[in-house]
Structures are given as C-alpha cells and as structure tokens.
Structure 1
Amino acid sequence: MMKHLKHFILIIFLSVSGMATYAQTPDEQLAVQYFQNKEFDKAVVYYEKLFDKSGNEFYYGYYLECLVELGDFKKAEKLVKKQQKKSPDNPNYAVDMGYVYNKAGEHKKAEKEFENLINQLTGNQSHVFEMANAFIKRNELDYALATYEKGRKLLKGQYPFHFEMGEIYFAKGDLNGMVGEYLDVLLINEGYLQQVQNYLIRIYGSEKFGTAQSGNELIKNQLLRRVQKHADKSVFAEMLIWLLIQEKDFNGAFIQTKALDKRQKEDGSRLMHLAQTCVSNKEYETAIKAYQAVLEKGKENYNYIPSKIELLNTLNQKILENANYTQEDLNTLEKSYHSTLSELGTNAKTSPLLKGLAHLNAFYLHNTEKAIELLEEAITLPGVTKVFMAEAKLLLGDILLIEGDIWEASLYYSQVDKDFKHDPMGDEAKLRNAKVSYYTGDFAWAQAQLDVLKGSTSKLIANDAMSLSLLITDNSTLDTNLVPLEMFAKADLLSFQNKDKEALMTLDSISHYFQGHELADDILMKKAVIMEKQQNWEEAVKFLKKLVAAYGYDILADDALFKLGEIYQFKLKDLEKAKEAYHQLMTEHQSSTFTVEARKRYRELRGDKIN
C-alpha cells in the first residue's frame, strides 16, 4: 500500500510541476517566462508552436492552460478532442475535457463527462490509479474518491485504496473520512499500525478544519466504536491506548491497557511497558498502579520479579524527586527495600535493589558504611552482568569519594575504564577519574583526560568534559595564581561529600580573598547547586538571579536561566516567572544548547498545542 501511495504522490507532483525548469531553446524560455508572468496571450503563441512541432505532452498541458486562461474554450475543446483521438483510453483527456467545460461554465457537460469516464472504469488496479490521479490533478477530489470507491468494488477487496482515499479526505478537510479510511487499513493488516499512527498524528490536536470536534476527538470516537465493534481485534485498543498517551491521559491509558491485558490473557508485559512510559513522563502514581496490576497476577508470573523491582525503583524516584520529601518518606522507602529483598532473596535478579538501597543509604540516609557493605555484596553475587558490576563499581567509587578514600575510589573508576574501553560506560569512569585529579589539584592530568573525553560518543559526557576543561583552562594559565582554583576544586569535593557548610565557607573565602576573580560566576552557580541539593529553592533562585544580573552574557548565564525556569516551573510552581526565565534564555542566548527545550517549555506554559 505504501509503495502505491508514494507512486501516487509522485505522479501528481510530476503532473503539476512537470518540467517547468526544462526550458532550453529561446522559444521555450520565452514561453515559460510569459506563462509565469501570466501573459497568456503571448505564451500561447509559443506553446502552440512548440506543441504543433513536437506533439509533446508537456507542451500540451501548458498550451491547454493558456487557452483556458484566455477563455478560448472552443479551441481548448478542439485540442483535447484531438488528444482523445490519439489516446482514447487515456483518462487524463476526458478529465481535461470536463475541466474545460467547467471553466466555460458548462457544468452539466462536465458532470456528464466525468460520470461517463467513471462508468468506463475496469477492475484493473493501474487503471484505477491513473483515473483517480487524473481527477486529482484537476482538483476534482470528489470524483477521485468516486473512482477509488468503484475501483474498490470492482477489485473485490484485492486492493481497497484506504491510504489513497485517506489522503484525499485529508486534502478535502474531511477528517472523519480520513480517520475512517486509515483505521480500516488495520482491519486488513495490523502490520500497518505504525504507518497509520504516523498519518493520524498530523491531525492530533488539530482544530483547523472547520469541524465541531478536534482531531483528537474524531480519532478517539472512531476508535471507541471500533473497539466495541471489533472486540476480537486488539489493534484498535492498542491505537486507543496510543492516543491516550499522546493526550497525556495516562490513567485512561492504564484502564484500557489493563482491560486489554485481561481480555488477551497476557502476562503483564503490556502493563510494564505502559508503566515505563509513565515513569519517563514522571506520572509515578499511574506507573505504580500498572506495576501493582502485574503483581496481582501472582508470584508465578514471569513478570512478577521485574515488576516488583521496577515498582520499588518508581517509588524511589517518586519520593526523591519530590521537592518536599521527609525523613519519614526516606525511612519508609528503606523499609520497602528491605521487605522486597526479604521476599525475593539476594541474587543476580535482585542485585539492582541492593544498588538502589546503597544509593539511598549513601546520599540520603548518610549511612555510607552500610552502602559500601551492600555494594561489596552486590558485585560478588554469582551471575550479575558485566554492566551491572560496572555501575555498582562506579557508585562504590562515588561513596568512597564521599568517605574521603580518594585513591580507592580512583581504583574502582580505573577498573571500569579498563573493562569498557571505547564505550560510554568507560568514558563515564574516565570522567570521574578526571574529577579525582581535579579535586586533588592535579589539573594537568585532569586536563589530559578531559581532552580525550571531549570526543566521547556520549553528548552528556562530552559536554561535562568540555565544561570542566574550560574551568581548568580559564583559571590555570602560566601566569595565573592556582590557589583560587584549588580552593574551588576543594569546595566542589566538599559539596560532593555532602559537607555543604564547609563547601560554602570555602567558596566565600575565595570571594573574600580574591575579589573580582574570574571564578565569581562559577561560585554563584556552585552555591545555587548546593541550595538545590538542600531543597532551598528560594536561596537557589537568589544566587542564580545574581549570576544572570552580573554575568548575563558569560558562559554560565544560559545554564542559570534554564535552572531558574526549572525551579520556578517544577519546584516553586510560579509559572509566570518560569515563562520569563525561558523567554529571556530564548532571546538573549539563541545559540544555547538549552534554547530548543526552553522554547518548547515556554510554548507549553503559554498554552500552545504542541504535537
């Protein structure tokens, strides 16, 4: 079907655009020039001459158009009849005749010409395409539809022309007809699901076609009818779930997914996929319901353990991403980890839970000793994957760094770097080792590693490497006092170790003893980051505003504005100020890597519909 649709579009394009740029001879050049300037009385002379000389179909089209534009309908009719005699089976000439009649105001004659042509249609697929395309070329879309409808009957289901008719309905602005044709494709072949979604997404959120309903409502209503009518066809329920996800109606998607899972007697895989989509959209409550629905299938279900693990991961994200989580929340989460591990046991399958619990202990419960113990247990479990072991070692290195055991941390990073050469995982390990060198004041060695990482296949790692490299380069030239940078690196490490009070004191010392130093904007950014970590959003905003006001066109200004937008939007819920921050970023830092996302968020906050 898709092959024919592309062929159909190509034919139309060629028939309309033709060879307008082909002109080579002086006569051809003049003909094109006069035609483009709408000087049809002059163009017709040349096109008549060119056509009479060559009989070329291309010249025929322009010659006919000139005659019609000049109102010389008798001569135009004579020209078309001459072509019809040469090629009586070519439907283009019959359509051209109707076109001439319509232009002459003889609409009855045109209708008769078109109807006679359709009556001559045979059950030949190519003939159907040719005739329909002839009508489309003259913008006779209703007759093109009639051609396809008759062709559908004549071919008796061999080829139903759903895609082609859907495109015509779309061109007519008949969204209901368009949606119906595309959805009917799925009755024939469910393999076209992705293509149908791609076509329908064009009208998602659309209200521009003069219908009482939006594109979403039209699609949803037709899908609901088909779900009821074709209960045995899961594809329509899948389409409905897809539409609900597009609308961000995750709870509705959950209800439909759960019903489909039950109807199809599935193992919960569909529910888990939906849960993952919900998590990526921070719809944690719906994700939790989806995972719980899988767990209700019982422990013998294949997805029970994965769902149990992902449920806990989701609870983790829900709590830790909340701006106002409490110690009680953390304690409850810790208990959930322990109860789940107690139920499922400690093994390779549950090793991610050990890692998650270790992270919770190290960075939120401040029990690094317990965290190290959990990770050391995890990496010795039989059957754990190489990737998991690398992730656990990176986390273990981070925790050892918190504990001040810098060289032991570096050893773990080096192990991962060695095991994952030329891989983003190895690059991440190398980046962390570069930071160790930076923390300890070995800026030359840190710079050497960062230079390598600038070419990382991971854009995030490459950007982080570039940022740290610039910080070191800008503050460690031959004639530069390295003490401020060493102090800043120390503050960076203290912050990483959750010694925020000492970090802030160190940053203040730089500002006091080295007033006007180039690190001033970095100091403000670091203070803002520390305040974010402490969930002190007002203080974070204060430092970011200072940075933007004093260093509005320096390298960190766009970062600061984006952070401001995020804090206002997601933490303080001050949407107007979020809009202001995003707008300032868009207008003052147009080349920033944050600009695209800032524009998207600005438009969403403004209420624009974004597909």
Structure 2
Amino acid sequence: MNQLEKAEQLYRELVNIQPWNTSYFDALNKVLIKQKKYDSSVSLIANRLSDSPNDITLYGMLGSTYYMSDQIELAHESWEKGIKTNPTLYVVYRVIANYALENRAFEKAIEILTLGKSISAEKEMFSLDLANIYTASMQYKKATEEYCDLLRLKPEQIGVVKSRIVSYINRQGASEEILQVIRNYINKFEEPLFLELISYCYSLVGNYDAALSYIIKYESQTKGVGTHIFTLAQELYRNRQFKSASNAFDYFIRNFRDSPLLSVAKISHAKTLESSLDQKNEVLNVDWKTFPKQYKFNKDDYISLIKVYQSLAKEFHYNSISIEATYRMAEIYMNRIYDYQKADSLFSLIIDSGTFTNYAVLANIGKGKITIKKNQLTEAFHFFNQALLNDKRDPTNISECNFFLAKINFWQGKFFEAKNYFNESLKNLATDFTNDAIEYSVIINSIKKDSLNLHRYALADLFMFQNKLQEASIKLKTLAENDNLFLLNEFAKIKLAEILISNDDFFKAADLLENLSEDKNMAIFRDKSTFLLGLVYQFGIFDSQKASLFYQKVLEKFDNSLYFDMARELLNGIITKNGNK
C-alpha cells in the first residue's frame, strides 16, 4: 500500500467518525483526485449532496471532478445545478465560476459570470471578474469593455481601472484594441471620465500629444481648474518628454492664470525648456565622463533661458520661486556658460535672501566648487562647512559636503582628516559619492606611509577637478611609470585613462583599460576598469555590442562590485533599445 492509499484509508476512517468535519471530507476528496479515482470522488460528493442538496461548494467540487475526468457535459451540468440552488444570490455565480476557472474552463466561467451580472444589482463585482478572465485569455477588447462598464457604474473606480489596464496595455495587439474601445465609449456616452482614461492610456503608449489633447477636453467638459493638465505636464517632465511637457505647461499657463499653481507651472515650464536645451546640446553624452571637458554650448540659447528665469525672479520676488529661479541662473552660468564670477554673485544673493531654504545649502556648495577651481581651498572649506551647518540640508547634501571637505583635506595633504570626512560621507551609501569615497579611503589607508608620493597624486587629482588635465597628466605619468609604488601607480593609470576619456581619446583609453582589467595583480581595479570599458564603448566609440560584453563581464565576474547595479542598468538599457528597433 502506497502513501496515498494509506492517506485515503485514514481519511475515510476520520470522515466516518466525524462526517460533519468538512476539512476531513475535502482532504479525502483531494487524495482521491490525486490517485485519479474520479468515480470514487463522484460517489463521495454525491453521497454528501444527498444530505446537503443546497451546498453550492459540493456542486462546484463535483463539476471539477467531472471536468478532470474529461466528462465536460456532466461538469457543466453540475455547475449549473449549483447555480439553481439559489439563482437570485450573486455570490453563487462567483463561487461556481471560480471552480470553472480552477479548471481553466474560461468560456464556461465567462458564461456563468455574464449570467450573474445580468441578474445582479452588484454588477461591478462581475465586471472586475470578467475583465480579469478576458485579460488572462488575451481578449483585451472585451476586458476593456468590462472596465468601461464598471466606470459607468462606479466612476470612483478609475484608479483601479487604470492599474488593471496598465498591466496589459503593452502586450502585443492590446493597445489599439483598448484605445478603440474607449473611443467608442466616448462617442456613445457623454461621460468625461472616459476622456481622462484615454488620455492616461495614450500617455502609457507614448502618444503624448494625444494624451494632452484628451486631458484638455476633459478639463473643458468638467469645467476644471487645470489640475489634470498640470499633473500630466509634471509626469511628462519626470519621464523626460520635455517637448510635450513644455506644451502642457504652456497651455496651463495661458489658460489658467488665476490658478494657485501658476507660479509652480511657470518655473516648471522654464526648467522643462532648460532640460530640453540640455538634451538638444547632447549634454547627457558627456556626463558619463568622470571629468568632462568644458562643453561648447550655444551660449545665446542659454542667455535667452536666463532671461526667462530673470523674469520669473522679478515676477515672484515675494516667494520661493524667485530663489529657485536665481539658483537655476547660477547653475547655468557655472555649468553651461562657465562664467564663474556671475554664478558666484548669484549664489551669494541666494545665501543672503534664502538663508532658511535648501537653496542656501546648494548655493554654498556651488560657491565651494567655484573656489576650488580658483584654487582657494581654505575658502572652499568654509563654504562646504557652512552648507553642512545649515538646518535645511538633506542627507544627500550632507554626504556631498563631507565628501568635498574630505577632498579638500586630501588635496592639502591632511590625510588623517580627509579619511575622517570620507567616513562621514560613507554613512549614507545611497549617494553618487559612495564609490569615490571608498576609493579615496583605500588610497589613504594603503599609501599613507608614502606621504610624498601620495601628495603628488592628490595634487594631480586637484588639477583634474580644476580641468587642468595636462598638468594632471604630467604628475600621474610619473607615478604610473614607477613600478615600485605599490598600488599608487595603478591608481595613477586609472586616472590617466579617465583623462584620455575626457580628451575623447577613446581608443587609447580602451587599450589602457583593457590592460588594467586583465592584470590579475590589480584585482582591486579590474571591476572598475571593465565597467569603464563598457562606458567607453557605449558612449565614446558607440559600439553597444562590445559595451554589452563588458557590462556582462562585470555581472558575471564581479557580483560584489560597487559597479554591479550600474552595469546591470546600462546593459538592460542597451537590450531594451535594441529590442525596440
């Protein structure tokens, strides 16, 4: 006797002792089904039905047994008998339909739920159930019709409907069916809610102009105050759809002049124009570099943008919009036009007028970076320290300030103090400074006894921040060519590779990095070298196939690497892009 037979015998004894115990009854039936003793299961359930003829679960179980034994007609007949026990109670239809679903009898489940929906006052429950089944069986048109029917009954379910549609809209052939159904409902019923829904769906499939057009119609029909247009504009901005976001903000500004959101919309519109301009000038294609050269932007475009911010600072001089607009101007002068004097004066204005805002923190950080470029390290230390003392600092600000305070000490040869500040920066591992802080800490811990050469390396590092790449190269080559310098010459080689990248000498950089990545004596740098190779081939040489190989190598060989997550993200981006071609 095998284990299932023993279980059957045991459960039969228990059922005889406690015939009222449904747990024993269910367990016995499951054991019979596992042994494919379908006749015994039918007999067991039929006997129980003779005592409880109105128990709908028994009809459901009986139908399941018949279905598993390929007696489809008897299965359907059993389920239908279950419904007839109480045909006016909506829960009966849902219970029996669930048994059909467990057996993947989708069409029968749909038939049962449709019948239940027709007689029930609680139609919304059936719409959700039916929509789920239609989605599972790839009948997207019917699923969407059920959701639209649900919205006609319960408009407050719009959030639920959106969350359900987003789960299948990107499946093959689904989007057009969804959009066509909603268009039909818009034409058939004068209910603005469908305008909101179709706008959302168009946004999901990337047709942002249509999304804006329909949400404008929605606001018009509901006599709204533009909130939905504003929300769409913000969403488009977050998704880097700057042109469409700009159009949405522009429409809002022109048509809702009395809105309390007007000032936010105007500054957001300006930031959208700035992001669009950055995108146009391919800023993103240099930001991957550790030390990007000063990029030659179209100065006139940014001057025009500064005038927009100037106008906003004047118009909203009484609130925080003025401070934000001033900060944006300072950032443009510092990072796009490279007019450090004007940037510095604007940062000073922010510190004076917005002391109790986070922009004062950012302004001190900005002034600190400018004074470093001027080689005024003591003054720079003061500005970062002021930012750190400001109560409006956030966790990222704290990490950045500690990181730069550490680097200033490092550049000044104060290695013990630098190490302490790097440790403070590393208390928050979720920032962009983590990898570099760890690297500098390793340098200090490993080479602190050779303070003379460590100071030479620190000076080269300062030159790199100041964009004095030629001076930095001279210092680094001296260190890189000295094989007697434990670790330091390897650090110098990595920096030299980064300088080659900054100078767009990508093939030389690739050669150097490949040597570093294959040198087994340099285990500490192999993951970084491999990751940098991926960046060089992806963004410098534009060979995404080869870049993928290096990112994959990081994932396969360096699963504990600090660059693991970034490599995976970049690799997934390449795969997604190639898949969409």
Q: Distance in 1 between matches of 2:270 and 2:302?
A: 13
Q: Distance in 2 between matches of 1:312 and 1:74?
A: 74
The alignment status of 1:48 with 2:12, answered yes or no, reads yes
Q: Which amino acid aligns with 2:117?
A: R
In structure 2, which of residues 451, 456, 459 is the aligned counterpart of residue 487 of structure 1?
A: 456
- SS of the residue aligned with 2:133? helix
Distance 1:511 1:64, change over 3 A: closer
* Aligned positions of 1:64-103 closer than 5 A: 64-65=29-30, 75-102=40-67
- SS of the residue aligned with 1:507? helix
Q: Which amino acid aligns with 1:154?
A: I
Identity %: 18
* Equivalent in the alignment of 1:371: 343
CA displacement at 1:92 relative to structure 2: 1.7
- SS of the residue aligned with 1:349? helix
CA RMSD after TM alignment: 3.7
CA displacement at 1:391 relative to structure 2: 0.8
* Aligned positions of 1:179-194 closer than 5 A: 179-194=144-159
Bigger Cα displacement from structure 2, 365-374 vs 391-400? 365-374
* Equivalent in the alignment of 1:548: 517
CA displacement at 1:329 relative to structure 2: 0.9
2:242/2:273 contact within 8 Å kept: no
Q: Distance in 2 between matches of 1:475 and 1:171?
A: 62
* Equivalent in the alignment of 1:20: none
Q: Distance in 1 between matches of 2:538 and 2:236?
A: 20
Distance 1:355 1:78, change over 3 A: closer
Unaligned stretches of 5+ residues in structure 2: 287-293
CA displacement at 1:63 relative to structure 2: 3.5
Q: Which amino acid aligns with 2:446?
A: D
Residue by residue over 1:362-418, the C-alpha shift from the partner in whole angstroms, topping out at 9 and shown as x without a partner, is 34433322221222123223x575111111111111111111221111111111211
In structure 2, which of residues 353, 357, 366 is the aligned counterpart of residue 386 of structure 1?
A: 357
The alignment status of 1:471 with 2:443, answered yes or no, reads yes
Q: Which amino acid aligns with 1:369?
A: Q
1:220/1:240 contact within 8 Å kept: yes
* Equivalent in the alignment of 1:317: 278
Q: Distance in 2 between matches of 1:322 and 1:329?
A: 15
1:439/1:493 contact within 8 Å kept: yes
1:237/1:256 contact within 8 Å kept: yes
In structure 2, which of residues 323, 339, 347 is the aligned counterpart of residue 351 of structure 1?
A: 323
Q: Distance in 1 between matches of 2:161 and 2:525?
A: 44
* Equivalent in the alignment of 1:150: 115
The alignment status of 1:577 with 2:546, answered yes or no, reads yes
1:291/1:310 contact within 8 Å kept: no
* Equivalent in the alignment of 1:232: 191
Bigger Cα displacement from structure 2, 434-443 vs 362-371? 362-371
* Aligned positions of 1:459-608 closer than 5 A: 459-476=431-448, 480-513=449-482, 517-534=486-503, 537-538=506-507, 540-550=509-519, 554-606=523-575
Q: Distance in 1 between matches of 2:481 and 2:68?
A: 85
CA displacement at 1:430 relative to structure 2: 2.2
* Equivalent in the alignment of 2:421: 449
Distance 1:447 1:199, change over 3 A: same
* Equivalent in the alignment of 1:403: 374
The alignment status of 1:419 with 2:380, answered yes or no, reads no
Distance 1:336 1:111, change over 3 A: closer
Q: Which amino acid aligns with 1:47?
A: Y
Residue by residue over 1:459-481, the C-alpha shift from the partner in whole angstroms, topping out at 9 and shown as x without a partner, is 444444333222221221xxx31
Q: Distance in 1 between matches of 2:360 and 2:521?
A: 43
Q: Distance in 2 between matches of 1:300 and 1:543?
A: 60
Distance 1:418 1:71, change over 3 A: closer
2:295/2:336 contact within 8 Å kept: no
* Aligned positions of 1:14-413 closer than 5 A: 34-35=3-4, 44-55=8-19, 56-65=21-30, 75-102=40-67, 107-157=72-122, 159-207=124-172, 213=173, 215-230=174-189, 232-234=191-193, 236-250=194-208, 253-257=211-215, 260=218, 270-297=228-255, 302-303=262-263, 305-318=266-279, 319=281, 321=283, 323=285, 327=296, 329-338=298-307, 340-342=309-311, 345=314, 347=317, 348-381=320-353, 385-413=356-384
Q: Which amino acid aligns with 1:95?
A: G
Q: Structure 2 length normalisation: TM-score?
A: 0.83
Residue by residue over 1:160-183, the C-alpha shift from the partner in whole angstroms, topping out at 9 and shown as x without a partner, is 333333333344454444444345
* Equivalent in the alignment of 1:12: none
1:237/1:260 contact within 8 Å kept: yes
Distance 1:198 1:178, change over 3 A: same
2:399/2:426 contact within 8 Å kept: no
Distance 1:534 1:556, change over 3 A: same
CA displacement at 1:560 relative to structure 2: 3.6
CA displacement at 1:194 relative to structure 2: 4.2
Residue by residue over 1:397-454, the C-alpha shift from the partner in whole angstroms, topping out at 9 and shown as x without a partner, is 1111111221111111111211247843233222221221111111101111222332
Bigger Cα displacement from structure 2, 386-395 vs 579-588? 579-588
Distance 1:141 1:335, change over 3 A: closer
Q: Which amino acid aligns with 2:324?
A: P
* Equivalent in the alignment of 1:432: 404
Q: Distance in 2 between matches of 1:575 and 1:49?
A: 68
- SS of the residue aligned with 1:309? helix
* Equivalent in the alignment of 1:16: none
Distance 1:231 1:68, change over 3 A: same
1:531/1:539 contact within 8 Å kept: yes
Distance 1:454 1:322, change over 3 A: closer
- SS of the residue aligned with 2:321? coil
- SS of the residue aligned with 1:379? helix
2:481/2:489 contact within 8 Å kept: no
1:419/1:426 contact within 8 Å kept: no
- SS of the residue aligned with 2:523? coil
* Equivalent in the alignment of 2:291: none
Q: Distance in 1 between matches of 2:225 and 2:521?
A: 55
CA displacement at 1:317 relative to structure 2: 3.0
Q: Which amino acid aligns with 1:233?
A: P
**How many residue pairs align between the two structures?**
563
Distance 1:513 1:108, change over 3 A: closer
- SS of the residue aligned with 1:380? helix
Distance 1:66 1:422, change over 3 A: closer
Q: Which amino acid aligns with 1:50?
A: L
- SS of the residue aligned with 1:345? helix
Distance 1:147 1:517, change over 3 A: same
Bigger Cα displacement from structure 2, 588-597 vs 404-413? 588-597
CA displacement at 1:91 relative to structure 2: 0.8
Q: Distance in 1 between matches of 2:52 and 2:188?
A: 47
Distance 1:284 1:106, change over 3 A: closer
